[in-house]
């Protein structure tokens, strides 16, 4: 049975190219996938790093959450994701499985505006307050 998944997407190394390519790959495997607007956010916790572009994607799949998460990590790797020094550094592509059905898999969804705001465009979520100045809408469409 198909389950609905919510995927957080981000990049701050050539982000327009990497996010567009990720959206193309996702649509190839999940033709009915749909995407939020793209938002620009500061690279929190990273000195002298470029801003991130962030979005969310909603898709339906027969895959299990671990299988989909593994596929997303492979897609990151195809785009040159470097995991050698932890996650608090610039990245070509960051794809996080945030929800599977009604289950929150990554509580980043409720802690960071760059995940919550685009997700809220796609699914119903409880209200959480964030500083409105944290995000800026981008002209990039996925």
Q: What is the pLDDT of residues 6-48, one digit of tens each?
A: 899 889 889 999 999 999 999 999 999 999 888 887 777 666 7
Query: Quick one: pLDDT at residue 20?
Result: 94
The average pLDDT across 97-101 equals: 88
Per-residue model confidence as pLDDT tens digits over 42-76: 777 666 778 888 889 999 999 999 999 999 999 98
**129 — pLDDT class (breaks 50, 70, 90):** low
| Terminal-to-terminal C-alpha distance of the chain | 27
Separation CA 6–CA 97 (nearest Å): 6
CA-to-CA separations, 86 to 10, 72, 73, 99, in angstroms, rounded: 16, 17, 14, 23
Q: Could you say which DSSP state residue 30 is in?
A: -
Cβ contact 75:68 at 8 Å: no
The span from the CA of 66 to the CA of 26, in Å, is: 16
pLDDT of residue 119: 66
Map out the domains of the chain as residue ranges: 3-137
User: Which CATH class for the 3-137 domain?
Assistant: alpha beta
């Amino acid at each position: 049975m198909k389950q609905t998944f919510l995927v957080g997407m981000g990049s701050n190394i050539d982000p327009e190219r990497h996010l567009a390519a990720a959206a193309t790959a996702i649509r190839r495997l999940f033709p009915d996938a749909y995407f939020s607007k793209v938002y620009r956010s500061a690279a929190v916790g990273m000195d002298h790093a470029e801003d991130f572009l962030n979005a969310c994607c909603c898709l339906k799949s027969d895959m299990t959450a671990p299988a989909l998460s593994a596929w997303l990590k492979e897609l990151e790797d195809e785009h040159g994701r470097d995991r050698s020094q932890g996650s608090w550094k610039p990245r070509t592509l960051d794809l996080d499985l945030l929800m599977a059905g009604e289950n929150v898999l990554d509580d980043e969804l409720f802690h960071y505006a760059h995940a919550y705001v685009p997700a809220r465009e796609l699914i119903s979520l409880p209200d959480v307050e964030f500083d409105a100045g944290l995000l800026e809408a981008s002209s990039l469409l996925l």
